[in-house]
Amino acid sequence: MLKKTWGGRFRGGADPAAEKFTGSLAFDRRLWPQDIAGSMAWARALARAGVITDAERDTILDGLARVRHELETGAFTFRPELEDIHTNIERRLIELAGPVGGKLHTGRSRNDQIALDERLYLREILAATREGLRETQHVLVDRAAESLDVAMPGYTHLQRAQPVLLAHHLLAYVFMLERDRERLSDCARRADVMPLGAAALAGTAFPIDRDMLARDLGFHSVSANSLDAVSDRDHVIEFLAGAAVIGMHCSRLAGDLTLWATSEFGFVEFADAFATGSSIMPQKKNPDVAELIRGKSGRLYGNLVAVLTTMKGLPLTYNSDMQEDKEPWFDSVDTLEAILTVAPPMLASLTFRAERMRRAAGEHYATATDLADYLVRKNVPFREAHEIVGRVVRHAIESTKELEALSLEELRRFSPLIEADVHEALSVEASLAARNVAGGTAPEAVRRALADARRLVGDGA
């Protein structure tokens, strides 16, 4: 049996079930690159502080480089009985570098070590997630650019409300994802604090230059309180919160598309490559990818709640409970990566049914507000105009006609202020063009928003 790092105090060995239960190697092994980078920096800091000699430092650095090589090439033997990734790496270092390897853990604890590893890992995944979001935004911007002349019904209460441009609808998601990217940058900024030197909880007893160490590891500042440094998991929680919102946004996009792909809507068709069939109904084409994007928001929320709940009420400082942060966290990292990998090509390969959208945009009295606005421009107070148009709509429904199909004579029965130019005002195109306010759906406004969106996602054009 392998000796534990903390074996000295113990007489008996671990119960196999307890050992299995407490081990974290199965999931924290993914932190090996960060653990090695952190250890290398710590060895340099120990040498700078005069705690180890430069020669000892070099032996340790060389040993760590060899461990890293084994990990990179798959030659490393993971030993679950050594509990976690930190101990696995340290033990292998001592095997390769000799007893001097045993000096690495001087003045350090796994408590500040894991806090560091997490922040280093966070840095990488934040960058990758932001990039995935940007790619999704890119595709949406491109699809919007080609949809500047496609009108569709806009909805409130899932009832047809007013015509909008498809490009406007797509850009709504670009701006949502932009806030998501900001949230992640914000998380990165707050997590940019170096915890090493907090040791177990009280601060290291060796004269480590923490500022220098922070610079070595590329951190902006050092933690101001050692107790906080080892008990803080805000960086995980903020990531999970950001991930939950991203999941929510992606689920709404996927939800829209799933709805639009129904025969009832018929606004889009998924490429065969992003749909599946039914094992029994030969005619089916199911939007599985979109449904699963929608569905995965559930676990993203769950992971956030799991870690928040684990952290709730924990006495300072480190508690083993905190080891439970990793599986939910990594699950959200992997889930987001999966979503942001499949979403761009799924969106890029969608077929929009412009004809059908355009037809739907003009049906069901979608321009009733424009008729009211028409009367307002003739000085009718809006409340009165609303009432008048309500009666017009009731009349149209009863005579099963669209608004545009009502004759001038019919319309004038409701208000003598209505004149021949009314039909122009009731067209989908006029309705769209009227909304030429910043952030509105007029083609001109959408073109401006598109240019803004392109800038946001770092697209020159």
**Which residue in 56, 84, 180, 370 binds ligand ARG (CB under 6 A)?**
84
**Window contacting ligand ARG (CB under 6 A); options: 97-105, 251-259, 318-326, 441-449:** 318-326
Q: Compare residues 258 and 317 and give the one whose CB is closer to ligand ARG.
A: 317
User: Considering the rule CB under 6 A, would residue 204 count as an interface residue with ligand ARG?
Assistant: no
**Which residue in 44, 110, 123, 138 binds ligand ARG (CB under 6 A)?**
110
Q: Compare residues 26 and 292 and give the one whose CB is closer to ligand ARG.
A: 26
Q: What is the CA radius of gyration of the chain?
A: 31
Cβ at position 111, least distance to ligand ARG in Å = 5
Q: Compare residues 56 and 117 and give the one whose CB is closer to ligand ARG.
A: 117
Main-chain dihedrals φ then ψ at residue 28, nearest 5 degrees: -85, 0
Cβ at position 267, least distance to ligand ARG in Å = 47
Q: Look at the chain and count its residues.
A: 461
* Chain centroid offset of residue 341 CA: 12
C-alpha distance from residue 417 to each of 97, 356, 375, 407 (Å): 94, 34, 7, 14
Q: Where are the alpha helices (DSSP H) in 23-165?
A: 25-28, 32-48, 54-73, 85-97, 110-145
Centre a 10 Å sphere on the Cβ of residue 363 and count the other Cβ atoms it contains: 13
Q: Compare residues 308 and 354 and give the one whose CB is closer to ligand ARG.
A: 308
Cβ at position 25, least distance to ligand ARG in Å = 9
Q: Are 227 and 200 in contact (CB under 8 A)?
A: no
User: Considering the rule CB under 6 A, would residue 88 count as an interface residue with ligand ARG?
Assistant: no
Q: Compare residues 111 and 441 and give the one whose CB is closer to ligand ARG.
A: 111
How many residues at the interface with ligand ARG, by CB under 6 A? 11
CA atoms within 13 A on the CB side of 222: 17
Name the strand (E) or helix (H) holding 222.
Answer: strand 221-222
Here the tokens at position 363 are 């049906």
Instruction: List binders of ligand ARG among 229-288 (CB under 6 A).
Output: none
**Window contacting ligand ARG (CB under 6 A); options: 201-209, 317-325, 345-353, 372-380:** 317-325
Binding pattern to ligand ARG, positions 23-62, x when CB under 6 A?
A: -x---x----------------------------------
**Window contacting ligand ARG (CB under 6 A); options: 52-60, 107-115, 123-131, 181-189:** 107-115
C-alpha distance from residue 447 to each of 165, 201, 433, 437, 451 (Å): 11, 56, 12, 12, 6
**Window contacting ligand ARG (CB under 6 A); options: 270-278, 286-294, 322-330, 403-411:** 322-330
CA atoms within 13 A on the CB side of 392: 33
Query: What residues are labeled active site?
Result: 157, 278
**Window contacting ligand ARG (CB under 6 A); options: 106-114, 120-128, 174-182, 215-223:** 106-114
Q: Are 63 and 96 in contact (CB under 8 A)?
A: yes
User: Considering the rule CB under 6 A, would residue 322 count as an interface residue with ligand ARG?
Assistant: yes
Q: Are 163 and 153 in contact (CB under 8 A)?
A: yes
User: Considering the rule CB under 6 A, would residue 115 count as an interface residue with ligand ARG?
Assistant: no
CA atoms within 13 A on the CB side of 147: 29
**Which residue in 34, 59, 88, 111 binds ligand ARG (CB under 6 A)?**
111
Q: Compare residues 181 and 326 and give the one whose CB is closer to ligand ARG.
A: 326
User: Among all chains, which residue has been given the structure tokens 């709805």?
Assistant: 259
Sign of CA dihedral 344, 347, 350, 355: negative
Cβ at position 89, least distance to ligand ARG in Å = 12
Cβ at position 268, least distance to ligand ARG in Å = 44
Coil vs helix vs strand at 103: helix
* 157 backbone φψ class: left, alpha, beta (φ>0; ψ -120 to 50): left
Cβ at position 113, least distance to ligand ARG in Å = 7
Q: Compare residues 3 and 284 and give the one whose CB is closer to ligand ARG.
A: 3
Cβ at position 326, least distance to ligand ARG in Å = 6
User: Considering the rule CB under 6 A, would residue 323 count as an interface residue with ligand ARG?
Assistant: yes
Cβ at position 87, least distance to ligand ARG in Å = 9
Cβ at position 322, least distance to ligand ARG in Å = 5
Q: Where are the alpha helices (DSSP H) in 223-365?
A: 226-231, 234-260, 288-311, 326-348, 354-361
User: Considering the rule CB under 6 A, would residue 114 count as an interface residue with ligand ARG?
Assistant: yes
**Window contacting ligand ARG (CB under 6 A); options: 70-78, 276-284, 314-322, 366-374:** 314-322
Coil vs helix vs strand at 211: helix
User: Considering the rule CB under 6 A, would residue 119 count as an interface residue with ligand ARG?
Assistant: no
Q: Are 329 and 240 in contact (CB under 8 A)?
A: yes
**Window contacting ligand ARG (CB under 6 A); options: 60-68, 69-77, 316-324, 387-395:** 316-324
CA–CA dist 405, 407 (Å, integer): 6
**Residues forming the site for ligand ARG (CB under 6 A):** 24, 28, 84, 110-111, 114, 318, 320, 322-323, 326
